[in-house]
Amino acid sequence: MAPSAGDSISTEPASWSFDNSLVVDVFDDHVSKSVPCYELGHWLIEQSSDYFIHSCSTVVDLGSSTGTLLRRLASRHKHPDLSLIGFDESSQMVSKAIDNTSDARISYTTDSFLDYEFNSISMFISYYTLQFIRPKDRQLYFDKIYQALEWGGAFLVFEKTRAPDARFQDISSSLYSEYKVKNGYTPEEINAKTLSLRGVLDPFTVNANIDFMKRAGFSDIMQIFKVITFDGFLCIK
């Protein structure tokens, strides 16, 4: 029997996938217990969106999962011409999001993000998504987002990050494990999840993420969130 990563999710080393019914069915609960201040990050994005969403805006969520954040944004902004587009590579996540969504202004797609033709986007969101993109392709996503944003538009990006050196990484890893134990996961479940993410989740340091942003063209960058090694940034074109 495959080891459990908690919440009835069976895993194998280096095999974590979001296109998995076991993950999709419990995703919102699992991620809210696994990522510190997950709901607070959603709240920060909601509040920040007031400065960038207007009539006829288009908002794009890269890695929209079950659509929770897009539904929250749609509930906050009533503009009838607002368009919200969720991208997710997992067809099962997209199906779940569609089932959970009744607002016609929200759409979801499994289309290739890099091949998609965007037109003047007001706000991009990447909420703990780019860390799952292969490092060799990651800069392409930052470049695509910068190029597609309208002038004055925003990119809100949250990422799990690596600490700046080995000592701080050891401390951060220990604190994060203790956080998950506090939320009810056993050491065996924590280890199984860690093993399943090998080669799948590849976080970079804060400075490396800022370098991605700057190479894409962003110069106005502010860090708006940090808990252990979970970081959020607001970038404005």
Hey, how many other C-beta atoms are within 10 angstroms of the C-beta on 122?
A: 20
**pLDDT tens-place string over residues 89-143:** 999 999 999 999 999 999 999 999 999 999 899 999 999 999 999 999 999 999 9
Residue-averaged pLDDT of the chain: 95
* Beta pairing class for 106-109 and 220-227: unpaired
The least confident of 14-23, 72-81, 94-103, 143-152 is: 14-23
Cα 111–Cα 147–Cα 155 angle in degrees, nearest 5: 80
pLDDT for 22: 81
Whether 5 has a pLDDT exceeding 90, the answer reads: no
b (16+ CB within 10 A) / e for 195-215: bbbeeeebbbbbeebbebbee
222 dihedral zone (left: phi>0; alpha: psi -120 to 50; beta): beta
The whole-angstrom separation of Cα 126 and Cα 39 is: 15
Q: For a pLDDT cut of 70, what percent of the chain falls above it?
A: 100
CA–CA dist 132, 65 (Å, integer): 13
In which band, very low, low, confident or very high, does the pLDDT at 215 lie, cut at 50, 70 and 90?
very high
Q: Please give the helix or strand (H or E) that residue 157 lies within, else none.
A: strand 149-160
Regarding pTM above 0.85, the answer is: yes
Whole-number pLDDT of residue 156: 98
Residue 20 token pair: 């998995």
Domains along the sequence of the chain with CATH: 38-162+203-236 (3.40.50.150)
pLDDT score at 1: 61
- 30: closest CA among 147, 192, 223, 222? 192
Q: Which amino acid is at 76?
A: R
Q: Say if residue 227's pLDDT is above 80.
A: yes
At 191-212, the pLDDT tens digits run 999 999 999 999 999 999 999 9
pLDDT higher at 149 or 20? 149
Mean pLDDT, range 27-47, rounded to an integer: 96
Closest C-alpha among 25, 43, 26 to residue 34: 26
Convert the pLDDT of each residue in 161-181 to its tens digit: 999 999 999 999 999 999 999
**Mean pLDDT value across residues 209-224:** 98
